[in-house]
Structure 1
Amino acid sequence: MPEADLIELFAKPLAELGIPYLITGSVAATLYGEPRATHDIDLVVTLRSQDAGRIERAFPASRFYVPPEEVIELEARRSERGHFNIIHTESGLKADVFLAGRDALHAWAFENARSYAISGFRASVAPPEYVIVRKLEFYREGRSEKHLRDIRSMLAVSGAELDREALLDWIRRRNLGAEWAEAERGVE
């Protein structure tokens, strides 16, 4: 299972060092919806600029490409949209690391995280409402249909379990009504 490999390679080292993280993106969408192939994992991480060296400890240069500590520090100083990649050099598998910053949606996701037993440890996974909102944002930015497919799959499989009030509140706050209507049109 490629998702288990991604979780083992990228989420487990963060957990072992006590770095707060959430699994999100297509890997999380697969947990709440139907499986689909992916070669990367999206993680939201809480990291202060002075903690950038912890990333290098979690992902040693002998096995991973990690941006220079200065780059991670710069990204961690952003109040929003901080981002960097980590690549497992042997397999080419990649983690897109998004930094929580001061974004209220990220804070809400950490407060409402789910825990799943995956790859021999308890993995922290973003709540489905967060995953949907972020996929709507990514859809708005790039118009990639894969985001709508993931959302529709999540609605079909886990729709009854969603906190609709929280979901619709975040959709309103992020001005994603048009994208949400488009996603809902394709749900059977």
Structure 2
Amino acid sequence: MRSTAALSLFLAVAGFANSQTIDPSTVSSSLRESWCRDQRSSCPLLCLQESNIATTISNTCDPKTLAWTCVCGSGKTPNMTEYSQTIPYYECTEWGTQCVKNCGQNNACSSDCRQNHPCGAQHPTRVNTSSISPTATKAGSGSDSSASATDAGTFGGANSGTKSGSKSAAAAVSIGQTYGLAVVAAGIFAGFGLLL
């Protein structure tokens, strides 16, 4: 009898886990209104990130049903499951909360609710990326006139373009890291010494 009850609970949770949707009436109306405010606020920001256009063709959210739309000025709809403060994210986290509650004292079931059903971006699309790689010069060439603009921001705002300049900068940073903590610690001890 006990194993039958456990099996039926497991099947109920498994069925619930596959859908990962919630009944909006299980969430307070004030919380649903807050979720919709966040959804409507997030839409133009996500459009800006997706297509550099913050305007939207459609940006709605119904707090009663949690039905929403977000269509950017470019005609695209961002993948809302990759972001927080969106209806899919809130529904997913609420689903996890309800799943854990339905598990009762079953820790394996509760763990499964969260770990095997994560919310938010697991592998987010990286829209605005850049890579910075220092430009090294060949030995004996003096300086490199093709140094990238990103190098101008390295150690002191100037790029000498030589390997020895890079090594000197790295050595200076290493010395600063090593002795900086000692200077801070000495200052703290001196301060305590003055108090005593």
The interval holding the TM-score normalised by the smaller chain is under 0.3
Q: Which has the higher contact order (CA 8 A, sep 6+)?
A: 1
Instruction: Report the structure, 1 or 2, having the larger helix content.
Output: 2
TM-score, normalisation: structure 2: 0.22
Select the structure that is richer in strand. 1
Larger radius of gyration: 2
